Each structure stands twice: as structure tokens, then as C-alpha cells.
Structure 1
Amino acid sequence: MTESNAAPQTPETLDALSYEEAREQLVAVVGRLEAGGASLEESLALWERGEALAKRCEEWLEGARKRLANARDTSNDGGAAAGSQ
């Protein structure tokens, strides 16, 4: 593994990742950690990258939860308003 593969991504780079991209990269990082054989420094860099990727995935999921809740609220409000007319 090269150093550039283990280097943590910048917040700007992580912010640009879609949920699927972040999850795919997280799965790859976990696989590399589970395989072993990395130096301590590489393992720490992978761990930090994994933490950042996991946080990005959680941000996407939280955003999706909020959008669903808003859609439900809008749907419920619209249904009540339409039924009262």
C-alpha cells in the first residue's frame, strides 16, 4: 500500500463524496484493516480515514431521515388540508 492510499482525505474531499462512494471506501478501509499486515502508521491512517468516512455516511443518513420526516409532515399536512376543503 502506498502512502497516498492511506492518507486521510481532506474535509472538502469527503464532503464531495456521495453516500455510496463513502460507504464503498469505508468497506475497503475495513477490509484492509481486517486483512492485517499494515504498519502501525498505516493502520492509524486507515483508522482515521475510516472514522471520517463513517461520519460522512452518518451525515448522509441523517439528511435522508430529515428529508423523509419533512416529506411525511408535508404529506400529512396536505392531506388534512385537502380533506377539510
Structure 2
Amino acid sequence: MDEGTASPAAQPEISKMSFEQALAALEQIVQQLERGDVPLDQSISLYERGEALRLACQQRLDAAQARIEKIVTGADGRAAATQPFDAES
């Protein structure tokens, strides 16, 4: 059986995956769907898992952004403002 086409029971639980693992699994699903050589029923299952992976990744990114925004404080120790992580100093 091709890697990535394993039955859902054989796939790791999304909640136990690291961000990087979830992203790699999502990229693999996208590649399979883009190839177009997967039967319709399997395509639907892959799409559903991909959507769950996308949501998990987005939640982790949102949590990371919130943590970064929390770090930005003024000289007095109070929040001065929030700024994107990649903003220039």
C-alpha cells in the first residue's frame, strides 16, 4: 500500500502530531489529490483528513502568534502594543 493511502486507523492521531508532522502530512495529501489518481471515495477521505490537519495547523499558528504578541511589552512592563513576529525593530 502506498504511504499516505493507509487506512485511517493506521494514521497517527492529529492531536498527537507535532506541527511539522501535521504540515508534512497535509502536504502529502495535497500532492495525492493534485495527482488525481486516487479513487473518489478515497479522495473524499483524504480531503476530510486534510481539512482536519489544516485546522490543527492553523490553531497552532494562532496560539503561537498569541504567545508572541504577549511577549511584546513596554519599558514599564506593561503591554505597549502588539506587533507581528517578523516586524522590524
Under TM normalisation by the shorter chain, which class is it?
0.7 to 0.9
Q: How many residues align?
A: 76
1:62-73 superposed matches below 5 A:
62-72=62-72
- 1:13 corresponds to which residue? 13
User: Which structure has the larger Rg?
Assistant: 1
Normalising by structure 2, we get a TM-score of: 0.72
Unmatched runs of 5 consecutive residues or more in structure 1: none
Change in 2 beyond 3 A, CA 1:52/1:9: farther
- Using CA pairs under 8 Å that are at least 6 residues apart, name the structure with larger relative contact order, 1 or 2: 1
Unmatched runs of 5 consecutive residues or more in structure 2: 78-89
RMSD: 2.5
Q: Percent identity?
A: 29
